[in-house]
Each structure stands twice: as structure tokens, then as C-alpha cells.
Amino acid sequence: MIRYALKCEAGHGFDSWFQSAAAFDSLARAGHLSCAVCGSGEVSKSLMAPRVTSSDSVAEAPKAAEKSVPVLSNPPSEVEKALTALRKKVESTSDYVGKNFVREARDMHAGRIPERAIYGEARLDQARALVEEGVPLMPLPFKPKRQLS
């Protein structure tokens, strides 16, 4: 396992663990990385210092590990709670249209299909084009869960 310090195009910094350097590269090429703060898909490694330990600190590491509490066991912050609530609200009150989001949004705006709440995926240039056309939309601060259908 390897831990990388990451940053998004908006400058948010966060850490994430990967199986290997190759696993990070593969996920990045496939577009499966997103900012933990804003959801941006433009994520890259940021400058980080190597973690170097002396032989004394290696011997003490098991003792320190026994006393430490994993970060994941901490209660969620207010921001994490709000994002979770927003995700649940969107998923329960909207239809997931996946990669068809742009077409569905345009068709609703033009009156070709009935209006309904939808969410899905669009590239940044596609979203900008929709906004320029007057189609009301809002970027979500999370990536949609992939749904089968």
C-alpha cells in the first residue's frame, strides 16, 4: 500500500491510499479519481516528503500502533454529514440518467420530454454548453454511484 498526498484543480489537498503506484496511475488514466472536498475529477499528486524512520522508532512502532485510533473511526464531521444527507436526498428524489444526462436535460428544456428531477454525468465542456443554452443545472459535490440499467 502507498499513501499519496493529492490535490485537485481547485487547490484542495487530501490524502488517499493506493495498492501501488501503478494502481494510482491506472485509476487516474481511467478518470476514477475525484477530490474528496469538491468532487473535481482533475486530481494529481502533490509534493510530499518521504516518511523515514530510524531503527529505534521502528521498534516502538507496534506500541504506538496499539494506542492509535484509526482516523476512519472518528465520527463524521458536519460537512460529511451534510454531503451524506444531500446524496441521499438526490438519489431518493431524482432519476439517475448516467451518461445520458446532457441529452435528457436538453430534451426537458426544449419540452420534448416531461420535466423531472434527474442527475447523471457530463464533461465540464458539456455542462458549460448546457448553462450557455439556459438549461438549469447544478454540479453535485460528489460523484454519482454507478448504477446498472
pLDDT, tens digit, 9 for 90 and up, residues 57-81: 555 555 555 555 555 566 778 888 8
Higher per-residue confidence, 24 vs 68: 24
Predicted confidence (pLDDT) at residue 136 exceeds the cutoff of 80: yes
> What's the pTM value of the predicted model, to 2 decimals?
0.50
46: DSSP letter: -
Predicted confidence (pLDDT) at residue 149 exceeds the cutoff of 50: no
Higher per-residue confidence, 93 vs 46: 93
Of the candidates 16, 24, 7, the one whose C-alpha atom is nearest the C-alpha of residue 72 is 16
pLDDT value at residue 119: 93
Domain locations in the chain as residue ranges: 1-46, 78-132
pLDDT value at residue 8: 87
